[in-house]
Chain A
């Protein structure tokens, strides 16, 4: 079966750095996505990793270790607007051509003053 684990909640201070971890046990792994979702809104794409290593995009970075089944999302210079849920999603290879995503439960980040 597929299993994706993320912490349920995290709190961090404005201006600080926070790391949100995601571990997964899946078969047919073919990449990992991070999405941001503000309450009651649609998820928006943040990053995609398929090879080991760090991908940096402005204040956000994402890291992947395929051998360890582990990823993290790093948010720097936190702003109040970064208060949201962060969803880790694993892309699976199917027998057909479809590319399905399996989502973790999400990590709710609260940024405080």
Chain B
């Protein structure tokens, strides 16, 4: 079955630690995206990647980093510089970044930092 996987579903970390959230897709999609979702707010774009070895900052990239070494994988690192890291993180992919292509979302990772 094709789809997007994110692991783990729940993640707990202490303040000051970096943490990496995984996102893998087997849909052969070129474009991948990371969003965060907070209560009462819409999804906000953190980073996106149009193609392997390329990525762009979204609207709220500060305190985050990404890599895109393989087409299937787009991990997100939440660094200690991110002031409010506790959130629901969603990864998405789309066939390519031009034209009409819906984004498919993974199940999300709920990160809690204390």
List residues of chain A with CB under 8 Å of any chain B CB: 4, 8, 31, 33, 40-45, 48, 50, 87, 89, 96-106
A42 touches B42 (CB 8 A): no
Decide yes or no whether B17 CB sits under 8 A from chain A. no
A103 touches B100 (CB 8 A): no
Interface 1/0 per residue, B45-71 and A, CB below 8 Å: 100101000001010000000000000
A-B contact count (CB 8 A): 62
B108 touches A50 (CB 8 A): no
B98 touches A99 (CB 8 A): yes
List residues of chain B with CB under 8 Å of any chain A CB: 31, 33, 35, 40-45, 48, 50, 56, 58, 88, 90, 94, 97-108, 110
Residues of A within 8 A of B99 (CB): 99
- Cβ-defined partner of B42 (8 Å) among A4, A41, A45: A4
A-B contact pairs, 28 of them (CB 8 A): A31-B100, A33-B102, A40-B108, A40-B110, A41-B107, A41-B108, A42-B90, A42-B105, A42-B107, A43-B90, A43-B105, A44-B105, A45-B103, A45-B104, A48-B100, A50-B100, A87-B42, A97-B50, A97-B98, A98-B97, A99-B31, A99-B97, A100-B58, A101-B43, A101-B45, A103-B35, A103-B43, A105-B42
Known: A31-B100, A48-B102, A105-B40. 18 other contacts (CB 8 A): A41-B107, A42-B90, A43-B43, A43-B90, A45-B102, A45-B103, A48-B100, A96-B56, A97-B98, A98-B56, A99-B31, A99-B99, A99-B101, A100-B48, A100-B58, A101-B45, A102-B45, A104-B42
B106 touches A42 (CB 8 A): yes
Distance to closest chain A CB from B111 (angstroms): 14
How far is it, in angstroms, between the C-alpha of A96 and the C-alpha of B50 when the chains are bound? Answer: 10
With A44-B105, A105-B40 given, is the CB distance from A100 to B45 under 8 Å? Answer: yes
